[in-house]
Chain A
Amino acid sequence: QVQLVESGGGVVQPGRSLRLSCAASGFTFSSYAMHWVRQAPGKGLEWVASMSYEGSDNDHAASVKGRFTISRDNSKNTLFLQLNSLGPEDTAVYFCAKGTTRFGNFAEDCFDSWGQGALVTVSS
């Protein structure tokens, strides 16, 4: 059974950094693209970043490009999101999600399993 568990969320001051982790189990982590999606309080879903299954390719939304970085450690079955230069607009629940297709293209994917989310609050 697929399980994704996010950690690392919390309250952080504007301009500071945070690193989110997503521990995966129940599937062959190194065979699937992985993704981050966020949801601001009371708002809709926003794609944040995606990474290929082997970790060689990635993409980020324009709203976070240059500030956030997705990475993964396939030896530890863990996905990461480094959040730098945080602003109040980054306050959200951050979900990690598993891609649907084994060895698939990370840009041609659906998200078939999700974690419970990690809340990041940016406030002074």
Chain B
Amino acid sequence: DFQMTQSPATLSASVGDTVTITCRTSQSIRNWLAWYQQKPGKAPQLLIYDASSLQSGVPSRFTGSGSGTEFTLTISSLQPDDFTTYYCQSYNTSPTYTFGQGTKLEIK
């Protein structure tokens, strides 16, 4: 069965820091991976698609990388608005779509 593991579950950082969130998959998904940001009580927002392509309107401090089975989301120069929850998502897999468990980014 296809498995996706997102880590860490919680991440503490300060404004201005650079942080990295990782998603690992149990089998290669090439570059079929997206990253979303979700603020409390709101719908998710697409940040990155195809592992490294920045969605229109998303600040360039968000960077996606990786292929195959290991992917990272890097957020540089953290802003106060960035402290929320992030999810990775695979597509074109079996099952068709899988979300990671989520990473809550907290202010240290």
B-binding residues in A (CB < 8 A): 35, 37, 44-47, 50, 59, 61-62, 95, 97, 100, 105, 107-112, 114-117
For chain B, the count of residues having a C-beta within 8 Å of the partner chain is: 23
Determine whether the beta carbon of A44 is less than 8 Å from that of B101.
yes
Q: Mark B82-106, 1 if CB is under 8 A from A, else 0.
A: 0000010101100111111110000
Closest beta carbon of chain A to B9's beta carbon, Å: 10
The residue from B43, B49, B96, B101 contacting A110, defined by CB atoms under 8 A apart: B49
Q: In whole angstroms, how far apart are the Cα atoms of A105 and B32 in the complex?
A: 13
Give me the interface of B with A, judged by CB distance under 8 Å. 32, 34, 36, 38, 42-46, 49, 55, 87, 89, 91-92, 95-102
A-B CB contact pairs (8 Å), 23 listed: A37-B99, A44-B102, A45-B102, A46-B99, A47-B89, A62-B95, A100-B46, A105-B92, A107-B92, A107-B96, A107-B97, A108-B32, A110-B89, A110-B91, A111-B36, A111-B44, A111-B46, A111-B89, A112-B46, A114-B45, A116-B42, A116-B43, A117-B43
Q: How far is the CA of A11 from the CA of B102 in the complex (A)?
A: 27
The answer to whether B99 touches A109, judged by C-beta atoms less than 8 angstroms apart, is: no
A-B contacts at CB below 8 angstroms, number: 61
